Structure formats: C-alpha cells, structure tokens
Structure 1
Amino acid sequence: MNNIDISKIATLPTKYGTFNIQAFKEGEKEHLAIFTNNLKEIDAPIVRVHSECLTGDALSSVKCDCGEQLAYAQELIAKEGGMIIYHRQEGRNIGLLNKVNAYALQDAGFDTVAANHQLGFKADERTYEIVEFILKHFDLKKVKLLTNNPAKIDSLPDIEIVERIPIQIIPNPHNENYLQVKKEQMGHLL
C-alpha cells in the first residue's frame, strides 16, 4: 500500500487494562492498532478487526451489537494478549451521514441491507487492505481472529488464521432483526 503514515506508539490505559496504540493514516481514514505489550511474544495472538461504529461504540446504541463486541474484545485481549484493529469504515463504509439516513429507512421498516440498497450502496462497502498492512507491519503471520464475519476471514489471504473465535452478544429487542439480517443475508456465523 502506498502513502500510509504511521504514528509513534503511545500508551493507552483503559478500564480493561493498559494497551499500546498506534495510528495508520490511509488517505482520509485514520485506523488504529490497539495492542498489548506481549503481542510479539504470542505465537498466534487474538486479533479483533473492529469496524468503526460511532453510534454503538461511543454513544451506546443498542440498535447493533458493535459497542458490546468492542468491549468484549478489549476485555478478552487485555487478559489474553493480542490486538484490536479499529477499522475506520463507519456504517459498513458508507459514512456517518449515510448511516444515519439508513437508520431513518430502518425506522420506516427497511432492514440494514435493504436500507443500504435504497441509498445506492451494496450491503457492505468495506475493504480490508489496510488490515493486512497493519498485521504485516507488526510481523504477525498467524492469528486467532475474533469475528463472526466470514468476509473478514476471507480478506486476509496472506495471514494464517489458526482459529476463529466467535463473538456472541445477547440480542435485545432493538437489535434482534439486525442480527438476524447479519446471519441470514450476510452470512455471519452467529
């Protein structure tokens, strides 16, 4: 990949434990690697590729399972060691404005996939080249991938995924349909 700016490494204390953090600027997108001190000592560290979700991650929305998945990943990785790649592709890479428009369509009865289609987007617009770049930057050749999304598994052809660790969140009345759509229409392993 060309023109990736990489920050220095800084310490990130969290309620789950202390991590290191490094930023990777790809065009206008700034992705993060959040990792434990023992990352290099683990043969196949746990890695979570977490797609940005401002509403779920920062605003505690229960329309999705994103915030809970991020919290689960932070807690697990703080204990076991590994990395979270905070993948800055909001709303399956349609952007925040379009995501809110998709929310409005969902309020009118469309599911998440149909709402994206109504706005002229594919069900999922994300790409993962930067993820593989970040893993290679840290010289990670083998990982245990914390995901339910087969697209994330398929997006890492040069990385050996020794195990897929499921990430199961208890549904609530606001996200049951969302989770069903992820399973039935997007092939998520729920």
Structure 2
Amino acid sequence: MAEVRARVQLNVGKNSDIPAEIVSFSGLKDGQEHVALIFNEADKHQQTPLIRMHSECLTGDVFHSSRCDCGEQLNESIELMHQEGGILLYLRQEGRGIGLYNKLDAYVLQSQGMNTYEANNHLGFADDLREFSDAVLMLKALAVTQVKLMTNNPKKLSALADNGIDVKAVVGTSAHIKVGLTGNQAYLETKIKHGSHMLDIKKIQKP
C-alpha cells in the first residue's frame, strides 16, 4: 500500500478558500481512485484526527441537488476540519455504490413517488452497495489507527471499528433542510427511518 502526496494549494469548501493537501493511493482493493484531503497536517500532528468518509455525489457535491444533503455535509465537514484539522476520505462510490447513471434512473423513480431506497431496490440494487475496506487501508497508509469519526451512518462506524480502527468519538453532522425545495426533508427522514442514520432532524441547518 503506497501513497502519493500532491503538495498543491487546493482551496476547497463553500467559498473555495480553505487550504488542503490531496493524497492518492495505490494498492486499493476496488480499483477506484479514492483520495484523501488533509487539513492542517492532521495525520502528522494529531493522535486522534477528525475523519469523514464522504462518498462521491456529483449531483449534490457539485450541482447542489435538491434531493440530498451531500454537498452541505461536505461543506460542513470541511469547515470543521479547517478549524480543528482533519482528514476527508473522498470515496468514489456514487449513488450509494450504484453509479451515476443508475442514480439518475433512481431519481426518475423518486419523482414518481418512491423513496431513495425503494428506487434502488426497484432497479435491482440493495439499499446500499458501499463498502469501506479501502477507507481502512487509506487510514492505515496514513498511519492513522484511532479517530474521531464525523458521520450519522452506523454502517461507517462499524466498518472502521470492525477493521482495526479505534473510533474514540462520533461527531454528527447537522440536518440540512433546503427550504422551498421538494424531496430534501423526506430524504432525510427516510435515512433516519430506513437507514438507521443517527441524524437529529431537530438539529436543523437552513441555508
């Protein structure tokens, strides 16, 4: 397992003004080009850095889709890591692992009344095809073995804890309600009810 660090001044986040270092990896299992963004040299200077495993969401991260809160969670994570230091593992697992085009097909079904999980199931996929063993390899390549995990997803917590990463604390993200946009709040409520996400719908952040 190897890593390559690009010491380039990346500016990320909502206002594209937060510096970060990007790291690539070789020897990952699934063949995807996952990367880590490191803030304030957290892998070198913190024994228990803040970590987020963020699955790629082109529609949310880049185009700010009304259907999800992925972009808002990403920005929230970046802002906190800018303050505290941290490592963002950006995982190429679009659409909970079903891929971009299949996710767009799922959007059509959601427009017809299905929730996000029902749409994936209707297309022949499980609720969530993501798998986080490469995230574990990435952390170990960075010599990180204990973390504070930023997530609301119990599956991510188990993936680390079951594979040798000591999760010292869990930091939840906010509920990002997009006022006036359809589908967003129902999406969050479905993640809580169906996906057992540890999301406090009362802890609302409105743009």
User: Normalising by structure 1, what TM-score?
Assistant: 0.93
Provide the C-alpha distance between the structure 2 equivalents of 1:60 and 1:5, rounded to a whole number of angstroms.
33
Provide the C-alpha distance between the structure 1 equivalents of 2:39 and 2:188, rounded to a whole number of angstroms.
30
User: 1:185, CA displacement in angstroms?
Assistant: 0.5
Provide the C-alpha distance between the structure 2 equivalents of 1:42 and 1:20, rounded to a whole number of angstroms.
16
Provide the C-alpha distance between the structure 1 equivalents of 2:93 and 2:146, rounded to a whole number of angstroms.
24
User: Which letter maps to 1:126?
Assistant: R
User: 1:174, CA displacement in angstroms?
Assistant: 2.8
Query: Does 2:118 align with 1:114?
Result: yes
Give the structure 2 partner of residue 20 of structure 1. 21
Query: Tell me, which stretches of 5 or more residues in structure 2 are unaligned?
Result: 200-207
Provide the C-alpha distance between the structure 1 equivalents of 2:7 and 2:119, rounded to a whole number of angstroms.
39
Give the structure 1 partner of residue 5 of structure 2. 8
Provide the C-alpha distance between the structure 2 equivalents of 1:31 and 1:170, rounded to a whole number of angstroms.
25
Give the structure 1 partner of residue 193 of structure 2. 184
RMSD: 1.5
Provide the C-alpha distance between the structure 1 equivalents of 2:91 and 2:142, rounded to a whole number of angstroms.
16
SS where residue 77 of structure 1 aligns? helix
Q: How does 1:53-68 map to 2 (within 5 A)?
A: 53-68=57-72
User: Normalising by structure 2, what TM-score?
Assistant: 0.86
Q: How does 1:9-158 map to 2 (within 5 A)?
A: 9-11=6-8, 12-14=10-12, 15-24=16-25, 26=28, 27-39=30-42, 40-156=44-160, 157=162, 158=164
Query: Tell me, which stretches of 5 or more residues in structure 1 are unaligned?
Result: none
Identity between Structure 1 and Structure 2 (%): 39
Provide the C-alpha distance between the structure 1 equivalents of 2:101 and 2:158, rounded to a whole number of angstroms.
28
The counterpart of 1:169, out of the listed 168, 172, 175, is 175
Q: Is the 8 A contact 2:2 2:141 kept in 1?
A: no
Q: Is the 8 A contact 2:175 2:188 kept in 1?
A: no
User: Which letter maps to 2:195?
Assistant: M
Indicate the larger mover: 172-181 or 104-113: 172-181
User: 1:28, CA displacement in angstroms?
Assistant: 4.2
Provide the C-alpha distance between the structure 2 equivalents of 1:37 and 1:9, rounded to a whole number of angstroms.
15
Provide the C-alpha distance between the structure 2 equivalents of 1:33 and 1:170, rounded to a whole number of angstroms.
24
User: 1:16, CA displacement in angstroms?
Assistant: 4.2
Indicate the larger mover: 5-14 or 143-152: 5-14
Over 3 Å counting, the alpha-carbon distance change for 1:116 and 1:5 in structure 2 is farther
Task: Kindly tell me the number of residue pairs found equivalent between the two proteins.
Answer: 187
